[in-house]
């Protein structure tokens, strides 16, 4: 089963709308997320609200889509996908997606997971690709690698893997697992790496 794009609206507009209006974070919290989440928010929201080109899908690679935008003369790209399986199926959740962001000239990636519910305070999200396990920091509905080195290892594993399972725990104690297909991720990542060198 493949991830379907989009569930509602075009993906290049959906991600911006979701992040802009559904983030629910205070400015203080956003500062704490400076490594990934604040960068993702500023990247996408700025692209949609300031002079420049709005986010535009420039490639579909099986279960991943590549998107780019230009704001303040700076190009940014990202690849995004939704899970192909989620459990428990009856859990009350919002949008779920995983993004890898590349800003032109940065030379490295930033990763962001939206889980669709507020994480339990102090909990980490767990990512499993084959035998490799990664732990992500969490705040509210978002998770991200603690540092650039971890993000680099995770992207490398994603390029080599077939699927990725993400586990988390909500504030209500509900344990969830989402399975993302990695089909097309390598091609999509190469595309954004080339478009946003």
Q: What CATH code is carried by the domain that includes residue 141?
A: 2.60.40.1880
Residue 86 and residue 80 in contact, taking contact as beta carbons nearer than 8 Å: no
Please tell me the distance from the alpha carbon of residue 181 to that of residue 183, in angstroms, as a whole number: 6
Domain assignment present for 111:
yes
Domain presence at residue 75: yes
Q: Which residue has the tokens 């603690």?
A: 146
Express each pLDDT in 49-98 by its tens digit.
445 678 899 999 999 999 998 888 889 999 999 999 999 999 999 999 99
Q: What is the pTM of this model?
A: 0.77
Query: Per-residue pLDDT tens for 12-41?
Result: 333 433 333 333 444 444 444 444 444 444
Report if residue 3 sits inside a domain: no
Provide CB contacts within 8 A for 105, sequence distance 6+: 74, 197
Does 4 map to a domain? no
Count structural domains, the chain. 1
Is 64 among the domain residues?
Answer: yes
59 in any annotated domain? yes
Question: Tens digits of per-residue pLDDT, 120-177?
Answer: 999 999 999 999 999 999 999 999 999 999 999 999 999 999 999 999 999 999 999 9
Q: How many Cα atoms are found within 13 Å in the side-chain-facing hemisphere of 159?
A: 14
Assess if residue 45 is contained within a domain: yes
Q: What is the 3-state secondary structure (H, E, C) of 43-91?
A: HHHHHHHCCEEEEEEEEEECCEEEEEEEECCEEEEEEEECCCEEECCCC
Range of the domain at 91: 11-195
Residue 178 lies inside a defined structural domain of this protein: yes
């Amino acid at each position: 089963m493949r991830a379907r794009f989009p569930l509602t609206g075009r993906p290049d507009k959906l991600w911006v709308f979701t992040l802009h209006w559904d983030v629910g974070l205070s400015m203080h919290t956003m500062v704490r997320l400076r490594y990934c989440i604040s960068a993702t928010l500023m990247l996408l929201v700025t692209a949609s609200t300031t002079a420049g080109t709005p986010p535009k899908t420039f490639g579909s690679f099986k279960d991943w889509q590549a998107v780019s935008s230009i704001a303040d003369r700076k190009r940014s790209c990202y690849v995004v996908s939704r899970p192909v399986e989620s459990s428990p199926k009856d859990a009350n959740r919002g949008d779920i997606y995983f993004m890898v962001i590349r800003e032109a000239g940065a030379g490295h990636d930033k990763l962001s997971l939206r889980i669709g519910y507020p994480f339990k305070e102090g909990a980490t999200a767990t990512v499993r690709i084959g035998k490799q396990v990664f732990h992500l920091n969490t705040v509210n509905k978002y998770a991200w690698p603690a540092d650039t080195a971890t993000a680099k290892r995770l992207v490398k594993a994603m390029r080599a893997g077939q699927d990725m399972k993400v586990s988390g725990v909500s504030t209500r104690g509900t344990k969830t697992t989402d399975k993302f297909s990695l089909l097309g991720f390598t091609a999509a990542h190469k595309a954004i790496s080339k478009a946003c060198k």
